[in-house]
DNA sequence: TTCCGTTTTAAGCATATGATTGAATTGATG
DNA sequence: CATCAATTCAATCATATGCTTAAAACGGAA
């Protein structure tokens, strides 16, 4: 939150931008539904009415915040998947590569420095895990379209599995990502710091390894 | 929700019990923070003041709802873990057995029929995944104590891994469980029903297999 | 029936929420 | 400087929230 203050104090940013930054941070930390406009505008040093002037409503603000980060990440995901599908023409794409195509765009976006690393992880985690009520429908369908493409890729990647099992193992993987990205610091508290302080890159590599093992193992199916 | 109506319409249940049932259902479906007392009492056919009369406050109601289901499940988890630790005295407990000790009490509680199966899954998923803000501290520490025991068990179960990796892989597993239990029906929507309709038992077996593979594989560590 | 503790109820409290208004303020252009 | 559109602001609206209160309704014991 100190990080946020530093960014917001730069007078160069307009009200619209400051609201977006505050909203991102608060949404990432506590979720979309529970954060009020007054908290957002308070943190942004703006008037409450500014949200409705610049965005129209709270829902449209959420939409703007989500779209602005999810769109580029999603496009990069799909572009990497396209590349893989061309590269592995008619042969199964390695599971690890698909998982990388899903997660590495998050790393790239972090590197671009648009949001603090910690906040962006939590934000992206929510976009994977929070469906239905709290997210605007536009954001949901944005994710759904992308997820459908990945579902197809996963199924081709594990031809020994039936359709159901492949889908569920993808779902399991999304759970790992959502929970780890959003609640990563929970483990630190819970383990009294014995979980160390791995870099995001290290963490994502370990998530990928975990999911790859879970997806590829052969055993009981659904 | 039709299920709920049936239960609530039975005149045998007192106001306190009807409030508990409504609250459980709404919390499971939409989370603790966003459900209002008026929604709860409305669904229960009770007066708003009844919550404060019977429970004291919204927080204490959440506490009552959480405790009443988490306590027995947690105790069963710990008792199964105790049994395993005696059975595998000074030898590593198989990872699959630890995962079973964590998840099978959920199945048992479902079998007891205290809550509809669908709702109870979502409820237990939230108790694994939602930490911090939305949950009362008592529920958090209840979970934390249990998780600490399981963390120790997981570490002994995979002596080839360093402490950090073991903890993170446990955390990954919790993510799978939380997401699948709470958002299981999301996959059905997202996949147009191609994910089938597995029984809870089948689903939990597959979660266990997935996590076991993810925890046991040997490769890059943190 | 009367009595009395338990429970339920309607009404209200203080505060919070998303949204709107119309008046100020700003800042660039003529 | 004056003009004018874009922006910001305080004030306000209708509604929702958690909680409290005091009166009413209930139900068993005397």
Q: What is the DSSP string of A55-96?
A: TSSHHHHHHHHHHHHHHHHHHHHHHHHHHHHHHTTTSPPPHH
Provide the mean pLDDT of chain B.
91
Measured CA distances, B73 to A33, B18, B146, B170 (Å): 30, 22, 10, 19
Asked if A77 and A102 count as a contact pair (C-beta separation under 8 A), the reply is yes
Cβ of B190 within 8 Å of Cβ of A215? The answer is: no
Task: Report the Cα B30 to chain-centroid distance in Å.
Answer: 14
Candidate from B134, B179, B222 with C-beta closest to A202: B222
Asked if B169 has any chain A CB less than 8 Å from its own CB, the reply is yes
Q: How far apart are alpha carbons B52 and B114 in whole angstroms?
A: 24
Q: In the predicted model, is pLDDT for residue B110 greater than 60? A: yes
CATH code (residue A21)? 1.10.10.60
Cβ of A205 within 8 Å of Cβ of B217? The answer is: no
Rounded to 5 degrees, what angle do the CA atoms B178, B180, B183 make?
95
Report how many helices (DSSP H) and strands (DSSP E) chain B contains, helices first.
10, 0
Query: What is the CA A49 to C1' C24 distance in angstroms?
Result: 14
Asked if A155 has any chain B CB less than 8 Å from its own CB, the reply is no
Residue B9: what pLDDT?
Answer: 45
- The alpha carbon of residue A98 is apart from the nearest alpha carbon of chain B, in Å, by 17
Closest C-alpha to B125, from A27, A119, A130, A124: A130
Determine, yes or no, domain membership for A118.
yes
Domain count for chain B, please give it.
Answer: 2
Residue A132: its chain B contacts at CB < 8 A?
186
Q: How many CA atoms lie within 13 A of B53 on its CB side?
A: 10
The answer to whether residues A46 and A140 belong to one domain is no
Residues engaging strand C (CB under 7 angstroms): A 35-39, 48-49, 51-52, 57-59; B 14-16, 46-50, 53-54
Task: With cut-offs at 50, 70 and 90, classify the pLDDT of residue A18.
Answer: very high
The answer to whether residues A20 and A108 belong to one domain is no
Residue B43: what pLDDT?
Answer: 96
Q: How far apart are alpha carbons A144 and B215 in whole angstroms?
A: 29
Determine, yes or no, domain membership for B137.
yes
The answer to whether residues A141 and A178 belong to one domain is yes
Determine, yes or no, domain membership for A73.
yes
Residue B11: what pLDDT?
Answer: 52
- The alpha carbon of residue B211 is apart from the nearest alpha carbon of chain A, in Å, by 6
The answer to whether residues A16 and A102 belong to one domain is no
Candidate from A167, A179, A210 with C-beta closest to B194: A167
Range name among A99-108, B9-18, B111-120, B183-192 with the lowest pLDDT average: B9-18
Q: Which residue has the higher pLDDT, A114 or A87?
A: A87
Task: With cut-offs at 50, 70 and 90, classify the pLDDT of residue A122.
Answer: very high
Two structure tokens written together for B188: 């059905």
Residue A12: what pLDDT?
Answer: 59
- The alpha carbon of residue B96 is apart from the nearest alpha carbon of chain A, in Å, by 13
Helices A163-190 and A200-216, axial angle in degrees (round to 10)? 140
The answer to whether residues B18 and B74 belong to one domain is no
Residue B217: its chain A contacts at CB < 8 A?
209-210, 213
Determine, yes or no, domain membership for A35.
yes
Task: With cut-offs at 50, 70 and 90, classify the pLDDT of residue B46.
Answer: very high
Q: How far apart are alpha carbons A137 and B175 in whole angstroms?
A: 24
Burial code (b: 16+ CB inside 10 Å, e: under 16) for B33-55 equals bebebeebbebbebeeebbeebb
Query: What is the CA A47 to C1' C24 distance in angstroms?
Result: 14
Residue of chain B whose alpha carbon sits nearest to that of A147 = B190
Average pLDDT estimate for A149-169:
95
Residue B198: what pLDDT?
Answer: 95
Residue A221: its chain B contacts at CB < 8 A?
206
Query: What is the CA A14 to C1' C26 distance in angstroms?
Result: 13
Q: How far apart are alpha carbons A49 and A137 in whole angstroms?
A: 24
Residue B12: what pLDDT?
Answer: 59
Asked if A81 and A153 count as a contact pair (C-beta separation under 8 A), the reply is yes
Two structure tokens written together for A185: 């610091």
Structural domain harbouring B180: 61-216
Average pLDDT estimate for B145-173:
95
Provide the percentage of residues in chain A whose pLDDT is more than 90.
80
The answer to whether residues B136 and B94 belong to one domain is yes
The answer to whether residues A22 and A105 belong to one domain is no
Tens of pLDDT, residues A160-189:
999 999 999 999 999 999 999 999 999 998
CATH code (residue B167)? 1.10.357.10
The answer to whether residues B66 and B124 belong to one domain is yes
């Amino acid at each position: 939150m100190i990080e946020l203050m530093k960014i917001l104090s730069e007078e160069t940013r307009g009200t619209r931008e400051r609201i977006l930054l505050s909203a991102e941070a608060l949404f990432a930390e506590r979720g979309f539904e529970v954060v009020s406009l007054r908290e957002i505008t308070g943190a942004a040093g703006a008037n409450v009415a500014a949200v409705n002037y610049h965005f129209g409503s709270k829902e449209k603000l959420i939409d703007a915040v989500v779209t602005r980060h999810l769109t580029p990440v999603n496009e990069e995901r799909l572009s990497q998947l396209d590349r893989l599908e061309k590269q592995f023409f008619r042969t199964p794409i390695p599971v690890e590569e698909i998982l990388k195509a899903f997660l590495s765009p998050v790393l790239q976006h972090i590197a671009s420095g648009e949001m603090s690393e910690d906040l962006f992880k939590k934000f992206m985690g929510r976009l994977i895990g929070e469906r239905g009520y709290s997210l605007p429908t536009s954001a949901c369908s944005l994710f759904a379209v992308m997820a459908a493409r990945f579902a197809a890729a996963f199924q081709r990647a594990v031809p020994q599995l039936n359709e159901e099992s492949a889908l569920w193992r993808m779902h399991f993987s999304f759970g790992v990502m959502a929970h780890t990205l959003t609640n990563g610091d929970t483990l630190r508290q819970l383990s009294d710091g014995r979980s160390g302080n791995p870099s995001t890159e290290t963490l994502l590599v370990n998530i990928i390894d975990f999911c790859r093992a879970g997806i590829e193992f052969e055993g009981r199916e659904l």
